[in-house]
Structure 1
Amino acid sequence: MFRSLFRAAIVAATVAFLLALFLSGQIVNPLRKITAAATRLAAGNLKTKVPVETADELAELAQTLNTMSARLLKLEELRRQLTQDVAHELKTPLASARALVEGMSDGIIPADRGNLLSLLEEIDRLSQLIGDLGELSRAEAGRNQLVMVPGNPAAVVAAVGKRLRPAFDEKGVALELAASLKDVKAQALIDERALERIFENLLSNALRHTAKSGLVRISTRQDPEAGSIAFTVSDNGVGIPAQHLPYIFERFYRVDPSRSRATGGTGIGLTIVRELTEALGGQVSVKSHPGQGTSFTIMLPLMT
């Protein structure tokens, strides 16, 4: 009997040892993989991935590490692309300014009022581009410190239209504010400055692409069932070909690069519109027909 008990104890100990060895392998091996992946990630290998082979807490940890890795990789790709875009966009105004300065210093180009104004325009373009880039980088990184307070978005939009009207009058483009704007009493959580920047960019964009004697209109509509309000900036300008519409909110995307530079756009105004609209919890959409005009619609949630 003693021998039987001894054998049973030996078998039980062996099974316990093998079971412990198996369980430790189930825990230690994934932990080693996660540790190794974290080490590679810390060393700068942002393409690091940990295989998710189970459905336990270790798998959740591995998935969290993979999510963090993917996020860091996306941010790095954005940084690299932004660096390339900035270098490309700064080249043109800098080259123009340098050519003007060199021509004046060599006596080839007269330092008269016209050429000095041209130089000032290139400097203004650089200043605008740098300012827009700063705002865009903050928006894309989620660092825009929005102050969301209850307010009437229609009143803000109407105020922007009135403030920009002189620029439209100067070019000979009519700016029409729908009568319904002043009748809107709906409240929404908004950051007033962000909303102003959205419509400053949309109206400036419409003005650039609308010829003299053209029309730009701001209208609004409410959807009580959806709990939202929409503002549309429409023009009867040159319009945008359908193949370009999916890309117009991307940084520095231009339908006609030469024309955009001639009209003074930085190429990131619409990107700022998208980023700020989404930061306000809204959505932006566009419709356009070449030769007929373009309409941008901003949809914002209302307070319930």
Structure 2
Amino acid sequence: MNVRWCIGDKLFVAMAILVLFVTVGYYGATQGYLKNRFEDYFKAKTTELVEIYYKEHNNSWVGIEELKISDELEQRNPDQREIALLSPDGSTLFFRGSGDPESLIRQGKWNTVVVNGTVVGTIYVNSWESSEDRLLKKYILDSMRTSSFRVPVVTGIVALLLGLWLVKKLTQPLNRLIPAIQKMADGKLHNRIPVTTRDEFGKVTEALNHMAQQLLRAEEARKNLTADVAHELRTPLSIIQCQMELMQERGRDIPPEALLPLQDEVIRLSKLVDDLHKLTLAEAGKLQLDRSKADLVPLLDRIIDMLHPEAEERHIDIVRTYPVQSLNAFVDPNRMTQVFYNLLVNAMRHTSSGGRISIRITDTFHHELRYAAVEIADTGVGIAAERLPYLFDRFYRVEESRSRHTGGMGLGLAIAKEFVEAHQGFISVQSEVGRVWCYKMSRQLFWYN
């Protein structure tokens, strides 16, 4: 079913029910209200006639039996309405009708006659309306009843037109989104939908654009993964092949030192395969963590001691800022050691001679639990803002070149991110071109028992 007609049907039914409800309520309220108002008006009108007579005759009921309180129609049909007037002591002052006053008093309607705050009599009737009043009342109520049936017809037409306009207004953004979504489904992920509103449709449009961008990145990553893996494998395999062919051509015994380059390349291949395996396990949520209480300071100090000779040779200062008390975090020491190692090696790689690497551990309280945060910063060359979202992608390198001296294999930061997230934490980076790099592992990464 077409979305427009589906929404239109529901909207029209809802409006029809609303119109019916309003019509019934309007009819019931107006009919009941008018009847009560007519009753009060004719009651006051009839009572006022005898009150005026009492005042005009010097506060006396003398001659009241000759009072004419009926219209011309009632004069021709005197049996239509019965009226009786009683004095305060209960004696009958005036009666007109075909029955007797006692019967009227027992079954009729009544109202007190008050003059200057004093009750001077009680009037009883079987109906407050005269014949002319009854005809007027009937005419007005019939007119209102007719109007009550006209109102829903007019309102229904207006509701239908309004519903069609609203349906068009509501489905117009959807009609604009559907072709773009279809293009995305066909694999045309470069298309972007213009965001023209800030309402829910605008938010949906932004979400679709973001989804398309993420799908495009995932598709590009998938296409580049094979090329990246092939590139990383080709170099060591080529070296091994060339060395072996050279050994075969020489046709003599192979000295042990000639096997060292082959061993280096095999080690490199093994490390690449091992890193890819770990990264795949972490991304799939299947990475095994052997958690225990581990002091973060010794973990970092061991890595710093390993890198200290290179830092001295390149005149790079490593500044450590640790809290006074020991920080026993509930982590997997081996996994976190690799995280710290990858980050520090990356910082060393991008810090020029005479630079500085700062390491800081802080702790805080959040929701009555104590947390730790690790921050690693360097005075390297920095990175452009548009490259930051891709920094933790596998095989991504800031440098366009594939030099392993400056770029590595592009897996270190990806592994660090996955290992951190496996500890229910997250890692972020802040940097600008020409400014420091700063990796910060969230306080949600570590917690204390």
TM range (shorter): 0.5 to 0.7
Matched, 1:280 2:422: no
**TM superposition shift of 1:20:** 3.3
Q: Which segment drifts farther, 8-17 or 26-35? A: 8-17
2:244 corresponds, among 75, 95, 101, to: 101
Q: For 1:230-264, what per-residue CA distance to the aligned partner results, in whole angstroms no more than 9, with x for missing partners?
A: 55779xxxx97526798795624569965628xx9
Q: Which whole-Å CA distance do the structure 1 matches of 2:360 and 2:379 have between them?
A: 22
Q: Give the Cα–Cα distance (whole angstroms) in 1 for the partners of residues 252 and 438 of structure 2.
A: 43
Match of 2:188 in 1: 45
Give the alignment partner of residue 196 of structure 1, picking from 328, 332, 337: 337
Q: Which of 110, 132, 142 is the aligned partner of 2:275?
A: 132
Q: Percent identity, please.
A: 29
Q: 1:122 and 1:164, CA in 2 relative to 1: closer, same or farther beyond 3 A? A: farther
Q: 1:63 to 1:178 in 2, by over 3 A?
A: closer
- Which residue of 72, 76, 85 maps to 2:219? 76
Aligned to 1:214: none
Report the Cα distance in structure 2 between the residues aligned to 1:160 and 1:33, rounded to whole angstroms. Answer: 55
Q: Secondary structure at the match of 1:222?
A: strand
Q: Indicate which of 232, 238, 242 corresponds to 2:381.
A: 242
Change (3 A) 1:224 1:12: closer
Q: 1:106 is paired with a residue of what secondary structure?
A: helix
Would the aligned equivalents of 1:284 and 1:298 in 2 still touch at CA under 8 Å?
A: yes
State the match for 2:298 in structure 1.
158
CA apart distance, 1:266: 3.4
Shift of 1:92: 1.8
Distance 1:280 1:110, change over 3 A: farther
Larger deviation, residues 155-164 vs 192-201: 155-164
Q: Which residue of 2 is the match for residue 91 of structure 1?
A: 234
User: C-alpha separation between the residues in 2 aligned to 1:111 and 1:243?
Assistant: 47
Deviation per residue, 1:255-291 (Å, 9 max, x gap):
9965628xx95343244335544662344679xx9xx
State how far apart, in whole Å, the 1-side matches of 2:152 and 2:375 are: 82
* CA radius of gyration, larger in: 2
Q: Quick check: 1:67 aligned with 2:210?
A: yes
Aligned partner of 1:102: which letter?
Answer: E
Q: Distance in 2 between matches of 1:28 and 1:101?
A: 69
Alignment RMSD, CA only? Answer: 5.4
Letter aligned with residue 326 of structure 2: V
Tell me how far apart the structure 2 counterparts of residues 179 and 95 of structure 1 sit (CA, whole Å): 45
Cα distance in 2 between the residues matched to 1:179 and 1:242: 23
Task: Judge conservation of contact 1:198–1:272 (CA < 8 Å) in 2.
Answer: yes
Taking the aligned partners of 1:61 and 1:233, their CA distance within structure 2 comes to: 38
Per-residue deviation, residues 155-203 of structure 1 (Å, max 9, x unmatched): 25525755997x77999x99x998968941454x645454232124346
Compared CA separation, residues 36 and 182, structure 1 to 2 (3 A): same
**Match of residue 213 from structure 1:** none
Change (3 A) 1:135 1:9: same
1:178-189 matches, cutoff 5 A: 183-185=325-327, 187=329
Deviations 1:201-226 (A, max 9, x none): 3466689999xxxxxx9965435489
- 3-state DSSP of counterpart to 2:362: strand
Q: Find the partner of 2:405 among 260, 268, 272.
A: 260
How has the CA–CA distance of structure 1 residues 107 and 50 changed in structure 2, closer, same or farther, with 3 Å as cutoff?
same
Residue 305 of structure 2 is aligned to residue 123 of structure 1 = no
Contact 1:136/1:272 (8 A) holds in 2: yes
Any gaps of 5 or more consecutive residues in structure 2? 1-142, 352-356
- Could you say what secondary structure the match of 1:280 adopts? coil
Unaligned runs of 5+ in 1: 211-216
**TM-aligned CA distance change 1:41 to 1:207, over 3 Å:** closer
The one-letter code sitting in structure 2 at the alignment partner of 1:125 is: R
CA distance in 1, matches of 2:203, 2:437: 45
Task: Give the TM-score normalised by structure 1.
Answer: 0.61
How many equivalent residue pairs? Answer: 280
Matched-pair contact (CA < 8 Å) for 2:291–2:333: no
Q: Cα gap change, 1:230/1:29 in structure 2, threshold over 3 Å: closer, same or farther?
A: closer
